[in-house]
Structure 1
């Protein structure tokens, strides 16, 4: 038998890894129902928003800032990210897995400016394929080097220990079967640095693990596609430099303002842009439910059209319209105590029927995947086995089918108390589209759900979006939005992401339909302006686009010091809110003088009041012609204007003395 050195085995192992990764990064499928159109990740990958969490200056009472970086490469090269452990957080569909495949492409192809160029070995594992009983070395053998008998699990451990540089990517902790479990899995030990402690490990997940090495872990988050990233993706992956086709896709999105929030999710925008490009006419959608219903129809229509080929399998129309049992499976998976997003194929086929299951796999709504079948941690390397599991292409598809079951469950409840018992177990803050879809498909059920949401703390604004799903017409919620916007609308950093997102979407609906927005308060959100200058990015990562009907904007964050550049960017954003009369800063420490050149001319021509409110210590107003601050009263009036009194001047002088 051939005697191989560790170096020989390393070379064999590296070649095996590169073959495996090539199969993965060459199989990007933008439209899941078009299975014969695959792309290399490098041909479709576009930089979305990437932010790093800066620990310096953070305290128990105050978080450190999230800072935008230029590229996914900065996750590994930025000096502030120097660590052996990183966590990349993002919601479903925001491109976590795509980033790992781009890094795998970089490593396999020796991309010059990649942080992985000189790495000896890259280990990329999809955690949903593992279980708690399998060792990390068995997992690597099983999924990355399964067909080469010359490499054993024990060899992999020796190879890794012999390398000068190893990077590990663990993709999808939120889908790991034993996430946050107490079984002492190898994955858990790696996250807490009790295993592979000297090796660079990056974890991707929708949420932070309950237990991780906080002292030595850096955090990253992906915040989705802004306008620049959308344009870049269309040109790179869909149309090329065909300006007319680019404009067509952008018009389709602009014609569907209700989809703006949904299309910040890269996965959904990718499907939307490809589908728009494929169609000679793309219809206008009035709700997210209507859009998703149309998309599901496209999946089935494509398979139906293919079945007309003489050699193709016959298409069963019943499968497209009779999916009651699949809806139950989806609902049970989402709403169980431990969320389940994948199922054993043999068990699922038994429950749904073999023909039905294969139909939905062929359509692209369900996806097959090889996973670990190890049930005993003593299993030897020679006995390693896998099985086939099935999952939804994306969690949104799971929420779509689950909504039909939720509609049945709600319809069967009697009275508000019984309804509350059911819905209290279905968290709208984690499953917002499940609620929106349910309200969209059943008017009667939607009415009861909306009443429930209104009774929940912070549920009122989300309820308005559910009303929009129910009516399909903005006219149906205009009066409610007008009433909301006639008062001060506040967005605090402590608000849940769902509440922030719901509030933002309602403000943007008001702006689109020229409903006056009296005042928006952004408290402790540390907003900054994105590269396009068209969006304020909040601390949560959510963005607020230009609001043309906004009259007053208040921004505050205690003791946060704004640079001249940050201040100028906010002035620039504000100048594009064409109805704005007042921009008020509070709790900030602002620059003492503002370069006149950084003050937009439109603010000057409209004489917008730019105010610095320092609680009880006095107020001052920016002279837009000189860039200097001047004392003013609480209403922002300057000397000679109505309302300034002697006390305001005294208060300002005392305040100025204290600052000096």
Structure 2
């Protein structure tokens, strides 16, 4: 037998990798229950919102700016991202895995403007398939080059070490079975830079690991689909340039405003747009619960319509309505100390029943996946085995089925204390849709949950979304919205993303129904205006649209500087809030003179007050006619400001 050189083995490995990646990137499935309609990632991929963290030498514990970039390619080509370690962070369904598949497509096909064009070897591993015992080289052999006997795990190690250019993509740290544990796994060693120290590694995850090389890691986040990305996806992957079909999908979304928040999640927008295109008549939805109920129904009805066996159809209907055990599995998985989002297929089939389990896999709600079986340090590469695990198509599907079990659990409790003991273990700020779906399917249980949420700090805003799930009508919550908006509504940079999103949706409901918003306070949110001039983008990546009923806007950011252009953009955005009477910048460094042309004419006609509490100890009001700042007192009278202004403002913000 001819002895192979390292170069020969490298060529064999590269060939195996490209075959494996092609199977993955050619199998994009926008509607999971239509399994015979697969797309190449390059045919459906569009640029969502991508932001990089640009403070040199800073870690995420230090407040700093996020900067929007034009393309996923900038993650690797922007000079500010030069590093051996990157983390791409995003919520479930925001396209982390799709980005890795697009990069794999680029590498396999030598895409000319790709940062991966000249890379010798690309390693892309899905971490949910691994465990702490398997070495990274064994994992590469097992999942990326399993069928070629000419390549062994030890060969892969030698090949990687001999290459001048290697990039590694580790997808889904939050789904790695042994995440955040001191297991000494190769995955842990890689992200702490004790392994592959000089190799370029990018990790995708829903949250940051507990332990990683903070000093040498760059940060990226995906913030979802804006209107431009939605339009691009519809045209590229759904309708082509058929303007009538494009308009139909956009109209379906605009007529269902409650879905706007859901459809910022790329995965759900993709499903929505394809399903809307498929249906002659697409019904309106008044809640996220209504949308999800309809979507699950579509999964099952598609499967029934394909079957010609009447007896089989009867069983399918039973499986659709009788899913108590699956709901228990989902609830237990979400509410454990460490969330479990996948299960061994043999054990799950035993618990659910073979027929039921296979039906849900065939429908597309459950998904099979090959993962590494348990190994030990003495296990040789040739003895490593795989097993089949089963997971929900998406975490939201897990929350949907878990909500039926939560209804039963809450209904069985007696008294507020017992209810609190149950719900304190189910974090609403991590499982928002579990709460919203539960309130949507059971009004009686929903009322108890809403009272519990109102008792939690900042839970009143989230409670409004749960009330909306119950009623499906804004009329039922107008009084609650009016009461909350009569006081200052705060959005702080350290609020959870759910709390910020809930607060924004509350404000937009108020604005849509002309409910006065007394004051909005943005605390260290570093807002900037997007290209359209119609949205204020917060540091979290969430956007605040124009609020026509907003009366006062306070923006606080310690010692942040604004250029004339940035200030002009905020003034322009604020001028479109037609009820605005006052705009305050607190602890900002603003330009000493503002070009008169940057001051909106509507500010002048409405005599909007623009204030600046600046460092050191200045209380100033903008002269709308001259663009000059003038020292003044608290009542707006021009003159010398007292010496205690700085202390008063600082104390005010500390109490907030």
The alignment's TM-score, normalised by the length of structure 1, stands at 0.94
Deviations 1:579-618 (A, max 9, x none): 2222221111011222333334444444433322338934
Deviations 1:418-471 (A, max 9, x none): 111111111111101101111111111111111111111221111111111112
Q: CA deviation at 1:499?
A: 1.5
Instruction: Provide closer, same or farther for how the CA distance between residues 560 and 362 of structure 1 changes in structure 2, counting only shifts above 3 A.
Output: same
Spell out the pairing of 1:524-543 with structure 2 (5 A cutoff): 524-543=524-543
Greater alpha carbon shift after TM alignment, 594-603 vs 507-516: 594-603
Greater alpha carbon shift after TM alignment, 566-575 vs 125-134: 566-575
Deviations 1:143-191 (A, max 9, x none): 0001111111110001101100000000000000000111110100001
Give 2:649's aligned residue.
none
Q: Distance in 1 between matches of 2:556 and 2:271?
A: 38
Q: Distance in 2 between matches of 1:74 and 1:459?
A: 38
Give 1:281's aligned residue.
281
- Secondary structure of the corresponding residue to residue 588 of structure 2: coil
Decide whether the 8 Å contact of 1:173 with 1:205 is kept in 2.
yes
Deviations 1:525-551 (A, max 9, x none): 101112222221111221111212212
Unpaired runs of 5+ residues, structure 2, are: 646-656
Give 1:641's aligned residue.
none
Q: Distance in 1 between matches of 2:45 and 2:352?
A: 36
Q: Distance in 1 between matches of 2:303 and 2:544?
A: 39
Instruction: Provide closer, same or farther for how the CA distance between residues 152 and 210 of structure 1 changes in structure 2, counting only shifts above 3 A.
Output: same
Q: Distance in 2 between matches of 1:142 and 1:601?
A: 66
Unpaired runs of 5+ residues, structure 1, are: 638-643, 656-660
Give 1:203's aligned residue.
203
Decide whether the 8 Å contact of 2:285 with 2:291 is kept in 1.
yes
Give 2:19's aligned residue.
19
Q: Does 1:241 align with 2:231?
A: no
Give 2:596's aligned residue.
596
Q: CA deviation at 1:225?
A: 1.1
4+ long deviations beyond 4 Å: 57-62, 309-315, 652-655
Give 1:620's aligned residue.
620
Q: CA deviation at 1:560?
A: 0.5
Q: Distance in 1 between matches of 2:382 and 2:213?
A: 33
Q: Distance in 2 between matches of 1:206 and 1:481?
A: 31
Decide whether the 8 Å contact of 2:59 with 2:214 is kept in 1.
no
Q: Does 1:510 align with 2:510?
A: yes
- Secondary structure of the corresponding residue to residue 650 of structure 1: coil
Q: Distance in 1 between matches of 2:624 and 2:362?
A: 63
Q: Distance in 2 between matches of 1:58 and 1:188?
A: 22
- Over the aligned positions, Cα root-mean-square deviation in angstroms equals 2.1
Give 2:520's aligned residue.
520
Decide whether the 8 Å contact of 1:508 with 1:547 is kept in 2.
yes
Q: CA deviation at 1:400?
A: 0.3
Decide whether the 8 Å contact of 1:49 with 1:225 is kept in 2.
yes
Deviations 1:466-522 (A, max 9, x none): 111112211110100011111111111122222111111100111112212121111
Give 2:42's aligned residue.
42
Q: CA deviation at 1:619?
A: 3.1
Deviations 1:288-316 (A, max 9, x none): 11111111111111111111489998862
Instruction: Provide closer, same or farther for how the CA distance between residues 123 and 58 of structure 1 changes in structure 2, counting only shifts above 3 A.
Output: closer
Instruction: Provide closer, same or farther for how the CA distance between residues 312 and 132 of structure 1 changes in structure 2, counting only shifts above 3 A.
Output: same
Greater alpha carbon shift after TM alignment, 429-438 vs 581-590: 581-590
Deviations 1:213-250 (A, max 9, x none): 11111111111111211111112111222222222212
Spell out the pairing of 1:314-353 with structure 2 (5 A cutoff): 316-353=316-353
Give 1:381's aligned residue.
381
Q: CA deviation at 1:383?
A: 1.3
Give 1:650's aligned residue.
640
Q: Distance in 2 between matches of 1:522 and 1:129?
A: 42
Decide whether the 8 Å contact of 2:632 with 2:641 is kept in 1.
no
Instruction: Provide closer, same or farther for how the CA distance between residues 242 and 630 of structure 1 changes in structure 2, counting only shifts above 3 A.
Output: farther
Instruction: Provide closer, same or farther for how the CA distance between residues 582 and 345 of structure 1 changes in structure 2, counting only shifts above 3 A.
Output: same
Deviations 1:346-373 (A, max 9, x none): 1111111111111111111100111111
Decide whether the 8 Å contact of 2:58 with 2:215 is kept in 1.
no
Q: Distance in 2 between matches of 1:603 and 1:112?
A: 50
Q: Does 1:179 align with 2:183?
A: no
Decide whether the 8 Å contact of 1:56 with 1:64 is kept in 2.
no
Count of paired positions:
646
- Secondary structure of the corresponding residue to residue 34 of structure 2: coil
